[in-house]
Structure 1
Amino acid sequence: MIECVRAVLLTPADRLLLIRRTWPGGIPYWTLPGGHVEPDDLDLHAALTREVCEETGGTPDVLGQLLTFDDTHQRDHVYLARITSWSECSRTGPEIDNPDHGTYQLEEISHTSAALDTLPLIPEAVASFLQRTAATGEDLTILAHPKAP
């Protein structure tokens, strides 16, 4: 099973920093920064930090784990982190460097039902979790398990 990491990033305004994916002929969707754990990553924390840096140009302050879920071929470890700054021009990686992969735009989205209910956010497990916590008013910082990823 492929191990993956994803970050629910909270900005200084307590909004979610998401990636809006678009490409010619495709339907746009939003997703969390993250990706595969690479063989040279020391642990999940190192993989998460690397992925967030590559995809946002910023460094996460990891608060804890929110959830883990399995898909057909991968296990996703989802963490909550704060990010104080990010830079589209500082991003790196094959997704960013290859225009054939489409665009990866960083967008701040409110953690509210009004903002999330119509947003095509994938994967579905993340969308459901964030929609539920927005609807119930649950504080993500309280839900995050404060263990190291």
Structure 2
Amino acid sequence: MGIRNADLNDCESIVILDSQIIGSRMRKNQIKLSIEENRCTVCELNGSLVGFMIYHKFFFGHLFIDLIIVSPNMRRLGIAKNLMKYVEVFSEKKLFSSTNKSNIQMQKVFQSLGYIESGLIDNLDEGDPEIIYVKLID
């Protein structure tokens, strides 16, 4: 399993993986911009792109993992965890992310990596609040 910063040659593969999950290519521009700004990380396994992560530093000046996507047939192999560990190196004291209250699997990933609940946001996805998580970095 290899984790590295994405480059523009990865863009189409990332968009294809993302569209398999959300059913459209609507995030193509967001993905391309994150690659250009060096805020996109990919995971490869046996030469295939199996996951990616996008992050930014616009969350009150802290690093925020905005999006993690793992190929459905490659889940539960530690890909999301390894992507998240990779970005911890860039974080200063606090690293934030979030997931829907309905996403129990992602909540388990956060907990296994030492993240703690930090708040709740209603009204993003109707009837499915967003749980904010923080990891305090030593």
TM-score by length of 1: 0.25
The TM-score normalised by the length of structure 2 is: 0.27
